[in-house]
Each structure stands twice: as structure tokens, then as C-alpha cells.
Structure 1
Amino acid sequence: MKIAILGTRGIPNNHGGFEQFAEYFSVYLASKNHDVYVYNSHDHPYQDKKFKEVNIIHAYDPEYKIGTVGQFIYDLKCILDSRKRKFDVILQLGYTSSSVWYWLLPKNAIIVTNMDGMEWKRSKYSSPVRKFLKYAEKLAVKSSDYLISDSVGIQDYIIKKYNRTSEFIAYGASVFNNPNDKVLSKYKVKKSNYCILIARLEPENNIATIVEGYHASNTPYSLIVFGTLNDFGKTLQNKYADDNRIQFVGANYNQEELNNLRFFSRYYFHGHSVGGTNPSLLEAMASNTLIIANNNIFNKSILEHNAEYFDNSHDISSIMNNDSLFAKKEAYAKANIKKIENLYSWDIINNAYESFISQQIYK
């Protein structure tokens, strides 16, 4: 089939979850002799027209000049270009800035949309933006031929809200099995004597809840918080500046370092409460760590009984003060790694996408 992937800043990944999926899936499709095209921002660091047999189409992206609004123009440029290409399938990853242009999508292509998470629930957005995001979500549901949900929570929401079925296909991960403790000295920590939190520093990721609970505990262990220090992050950093256990270290996109830090940590905190299957959760599951997750359907549907859950900062303090959870690390970590191998490996996820899309073409 001739397939295009829209909705990312491009491949190879240097940004986030959808970009990583686009890279893995497009390379997989090309290896299966499909004719694959991925749209890249014009200023993406990778400027070649081919990446591992995947065709790259660069489209103008003015986000660097005008901010987030530029993403609407970038998506428009991608969609207009797609009208000339005679694609069999267009796979849209997300809908926030593309669904407003649905009426320009090529009529002869099958439109498949990954519905991402419930973006309108994110507290960082103003009321008007949330209303727009709900509208964009509705447009995406109505204008797509087929929908994909990467979480059973999103799947349930779509059928209840819009009476539309969607195919559940999660995100993927690769088991990390080559640990090296060299990176620990960089953060001045020792094996099993520190905890870790990796997330965008946004309120809905329960950063404040985790840090507040940690601060109130009497644990001697360090907490390393990874995430770009935006205004919200800086506020928390200043608030807890006197607690030398808590380190706000900014963003780190070095997967090798992060995998090793997860591997040797005592506990890994996952506070995400909005959206589907979060990539960082699967990466943690694949990295031999013990996960303490926010108590919500998105996290529980993936982790099930192989994690500890928290609802508030008091829960965090209790877990850290008691510290009996560490005895379960080996059992929980083994179970989660087995789950990655059996349910969430990239081969399984890529094959599920390919099979689902192919079925729609050859019905």
C-alpha cells in the first residue's frame, strides 16, 4: 500500500512519542515493501529525502516564528501536499491542529486517526482552548474513516461520547537489558538509593503531588525530576529549594542514560492522569524499575497489579516512610517486562497497525 503519516514533526525522532512511533512504524512498513511517506517540518535536523527506505516530505512549519499557531499552518501544508500523491491511506497521529482542515483531506484515501489522549482535560489550557480542543476531537471522530485508541480508557470514552468504535492498539517499547551504572555518578546517586520522575512538568502529571509528598516524607533517598523547567517547574523548584533530596535537573532526551537511571532506581514515579498509553510508562516497564503510578484507568489498564498506586501526596509520604514496597521490585519488574515482551513490543504493535490498516483497504 501507499501510505502517508501526518501529525508529527518528523523522523528520525528528536521530539516525542508520536515521532518515535512514526519512525519505528514507517521503517517497519518499508521493510515489508510498502510505499511509505512521512511528513517532516522543513527545519527538521534530518534533511535527506529518504530515511531507511522511508520517503521524507518536508513541509513548511512556521512554529519557530509564530509559536503553536504555526502547527495549524504546517498541518495544512501537509494535507494540501497529500492531495497530489494518490495515497491509499493517510495515518494521522493526533488531531489537535489538523482536524480543522478535514474537508481538504483527499477523498480517495482512507483516513485513519490515532485519537491520542483527552487533550481538552489538560489544566494548562485556558477555557477557550479547551472548548476548541473538544471541537477538534469531534471533527476528528466525524471525519476519519477509522479510529485507533492507544488505551482502553480512550476506547471506552469514544464509544460512550460519540458512539464510534475504535481499534485498541497500544504504544510500543523495547526491553532494556544492557545496564551500565556509569551515569549514576553524573547525578551523585548510588544503586537503589534514589527515585526518579520523568514527565512534562504540567499540573495534570501530578508533579506537585509527588514532590509535596516526597518532601513531607522522612526518606533519605534523592528524587531526580526530569522535565523542561517551564514556569510551573521553576515554581516547584523554588518552593522546595531547601530540600537537598529533590533535584530538578531539566530535560534529558538521552534514552540510554534514562534507561540506566530507571534500571538502577529504587522507585519510579508516574503521575500522568490524562491521555492514553503514555510512552514513558512503557519505557519504565521495559527498564526493570518499580513503578508508583497515579490511580487512574489509563495507568491501571496497563500496569494492573504490578505497580503501587497513589491518589494524593499523603499516599506518597506513606509509601516512602514505610519503604516496604522495595521488596516487591524484582517480582513487579519481571512481570512488567514480560508484559512488554508479550503485549507491547514494537514488533507486536507495528504488526497490529499494519494488519488493521491492510484489512480496511482490502475489505
Structure 2
Amino acid sequence: MSTTIEVNNKIVKKLEQHKTNLAYRTNKQQVFIIGSKGIPASYGGFETFVEKLTEYQTNFRIRYHVSRIGNDTMRYEYNGAKCFNVNVPDIGAAKAIYYDIAALRYCINYCKVRPSIQKPIFYVLACRIGPFIGTLKKQIAELGGTLYVNPDGHEWKRAKWSASVRKYWKISEKLMVKHADLLICDSKNIEKYIRETFPKYNPRTTFIAYGSDTTPSILSDNSETFTKWLSEKNLRANHYYLVVGRFVPENNYETMIKEFMKSKTSHDFVLVTNVTEKFLEELKLKTGFHKDKRIKFVGTVYDQELLKKIREQAYGYFHGHEVGGTNPSLLEALGSTNLNLLLDVNFNREVAQNSALYWTKENGNLAALIDKADQMCPQEINEYGKKAKARITEAYSWQHIVSQYENIFLKNIDI
């Protein structure tokens, strides 16, 4: 009798396993996302992307798996995605490289012990692990999987890196392009760069932008949270120019500060950024900004509704980024601030088109544009705001971006 029960239990278990295998095969495209710090999102572009990709998911034939930097091996579910922590030792600049490799190995091994997973997609965000990707790509191919890569921006151009690190980034980028089955570029200019720089690899590329929205802040103009912030920073609504971004040289803080100081504007210049003392001291020596009471470094703002209200109530927004593709802070500014003054580079023109004003790094150019902007009438400024929001709605809404990603991921099922 016990033998019969044992046999029946084994049959039931096999049937359950068969159902699970069938579900993996027929219903779910398994997508493993490596390279973000994880979700729930911390403050960063890739983190926000993964948060929105899972939040706005509409096609549930896709199952997302998301790596996250953590101090344990915890697994959890968030926005329907399976998330797992990767414990990364504190090894300085190489920490991000270690993390990507460890996370990708985890995902590969996860699939190895689950032969029911068919044609998994491994989507690596940024080109950090090029020298190691060849071996890992072989393992992915053995699983019947594909390697997707987001090449991000021109990381090797960033001034914060030493010459040797920039050389590593260039080599790493080349090898990631060589081994990727598909490169998903968030800028048409980055896609063009990949195709023109690496023709010998005949890279397969596609363009899917980063996303944003035009939803107003939930805070009212006279909310206590906003008015208290204004009071603490000695500011008035609609009487300040604003910049939000990483405090790094390639975002052209030096040019923006020097030009603002040359302008005749009576508005303040508010810099929402994570100040580092070394770069701040360099700027003091080069610009003397500390002698101009209009220039105000106000620290970071992590309350996203407050940050959106700060953007909405700015007279104008400066964007000096010149490295990388579609920049999240630019999209957020276009979705919230009426008047945007952008550095005239391909990446920024591609995004904003005719919904913004443009400046160059030529001496006096931005100063003259600021003075011109000060003379614009409210109707003209509002027209720019309407164009900017229309541009976001048309090409950069998260619903639109996520739909494009789902189509790309689901095509893999039929490959």
C-alpha cells in the first residue's frame, strides 16, 4: 500500500514539474536584467528605468529577474519581478565590474539548473565587463540564450576617470559590442556612433529611448513643503534658474557659472547637486562664484515630488551635459520646466528639438542667451513649455518606452 502511495506521489510531482516546465516554455520569456543597483529604485537612471519597466508592464508573457547590490543573498518580488541580491566586496573602482560579473554568473547558473527555461535573455546595462564577456557569452549560447546590451553613453569621455581607466572603458565597450546579440541604444546618436565605430562587428542595434512623464507634482505652489524649502534657501518661485545633475566637469558647471556671472539677470542660479569638495574648490578658483550672491548650491533633493515642484517653479533650466545619450534629467526638465536652455550638442537636440533654446561654450554665448531669456514674455515662455511637454508625450512616455521593450523581448520567443 505504501509503495502505491509513494509511486502516486512521484507521478503527481512529475505532473506538477511538467506544468511548471510548460509554463516556462509557452507562457514566459525570461529576461534577466544586470547592471542597475536594483529596485525599488534608488536615485539613478538605470534604476528608474528598471522600476518603470516593471511598473508599466502590460504583457505578462515576460518574467523579469533583476539583480540588486545587497549585503546578503535575499530574494524577493517587486512589481512582479523576481529580484535577488548580490553581495559585493568594497574594492573601490572595480566594485561595479565585480557586481556585473557576479550578477550575470548568478543568472546563468539559475538557468543551468532550470532546463525548462527556454531562450533566456540577459540584458546588461552599460559596457563595464567587456574583457570578461567572451567566456560568459559562450555559456549564454550553450543555454540557447541571447545577450542584449545597453551601451549607455561615452563613459570613456568622463573627466573623473584616469587615462588608464578611460582606456579600459574603450576596450570594454569594443568587446561588449563584439559579443552582443543586440545593442539597445537610448539615443539615435549613440546608435550611429556604435555602427560607425565598430563596422567590422556588424553590430545589430535598435533604438529605444529613456522615458519620462509630464504629470505635475502633487504639491501645490503654496504647499508647506515647497514654501519651506524656498524660505530655507532664500529663494522666490519663478525667480531662479535651475540645474539638476551630477557634479562632474563634463556637465559644464564651469561654463554655466562663468556665463551666469557675466549676465545681467536678477534671478538666482540654483544648483541641485551632490557637491564634492575637490571640484567645488576648483570652481571657486576658476570662477570666483562664491562672491556672487545669486549663485546658490543647495545640495541634493531626494523627495521626487518636491524636486518636480522645484523644476515647475523655475524661471528656466540649464542643461550642460555633453557626454552620453538620452539624459534623464533633461527629460524631467522638459516635462516640468517651461523654459529650457540646453548645450548645443547632438544628444540634446535629438531630444528637445524645437522646444528649447540652445547655447554653446563660446565666450559670452550663454550670458547673452540668459539676458535674452529674461526679456521673453510669459506667453512665449509658455509656448516653449507646451512644445516641451508635447515632445515628452510623443516620444518619451514610459508607456511608449515599455511597450517597445516588450515587443523586443517577445520577438526572442520566435527566434
TM-score, with normalisation over the residues of structure 2? 0.82
Matched, 1:126 2:126: no
Matched, 1:50 2:77: yes
Letter in 1 for 2:145: A
Superposed displacement of residue 144, structure 1: 0.7
Partner of 2:382: 330
Residues 294-309 of structure 1: matches in 2 within 5 Å?
A: 294-309=343-358
Q: Percent identity?
A: 30
Preserved contact between residue 27 and residue 54 of structure 1 (Cα < 8 Å): no
Preserved contact between residue 288 and residue 334 of structure 1 (Cα < 8 Å): no
Candidates 206, 211, 215, aligned match of 1:167 = 206
Mark the CA change 1:255 to 1:224 in structure 2 (over 3 Å): closer, same or farther: same
Cα separation, 2, equivalents of 1:166 and 1:324: 44
Cα separation, 2, equivalents of 1:47 and 1:187: 41
Partner of 2:35: 7
C-alpha RMSD over aligned residues: 2.0
Superposed displacement of residue 32, structure 1: 2.2
Structure 1 counterpart SS, 2:132: helix
TM-score, with normalisation over the residues of structure 1? 0.93
Superposed displacement of residue 296, structure 1: 0.2
Candidates 265, 273, 288, aligned match of 2:337 = 288
Superposed displacement of residue 275, structure 1: 0.3
Cα separation, 2, equivalents of 1:67 and 1:325: 48
Matched, 1:25 2:53: yes
Summarize deviations over 1:139-169 as a string: whole Å, max 9, x none.
1101110011111110111111112341111
Summarize deviations over 1:35-93 as a string: whole Å, max 9, x none.
2110001149x96611122111111122xx22221122211211211112226111111
Residues 1-363 of structure 1: matches in 2 within 5 Å?
A: 1-29=29-57, 32-43=60-71, 49-62=76-89, 65-86=90-111, 88-96=120-128, 98-102=129-133, 103-105=135-137, 106-107=140-141, 108-163=144-199, 164-178=203-217, 180-181=220-221, 182=223, 183=226, 184-230=230-276, 231-236=278-283, 239-312=288-361, 313-322=363-372, 323-325=374-376, 327=378, 328-363=380-415
136-145 vs 79-88, which deviates more?
A: 79-88
Summarize deviations over 1:113-155 as a string: whole Å, max 9, x none.
1110011111222221111111011011011100111111101
Gaps of 5+ in 1: none
Gaps of 5+ in 2: 1-28, 112-116
Letter in 2 for 1:169: I
Q: Which has the larger radius of gyration?
A: 2
Superposed displacement of residue 204, structure 1: 1.0
262-271 vs 214-223, which deviates more?
A: 214-223
Structure 2 counterpart SS, 1:348: helix
Preserved contact between residue 26 and residue 36 of structure 1 (Cα < 8 Å): yes
Preserved contact between residue 30 and residue 53 of structure 1 (Cα < 8 Å): no
Mark the CA change 1:252 to 1:31 in structure 2 (over 3 Å): closer, same or farther: farther
Structure 1 counterpart SS, 2:370: helix
Mark the CA change 1:172 to 1:326 in structure 2 (over 3 Å): closer, same or farther: farther
Summarize deviations over 1:156-214 as a string: whole Å, max 9, x none.
11111112341111000021324523413343222221110111111111111001101
Equivalent residues, number: 359
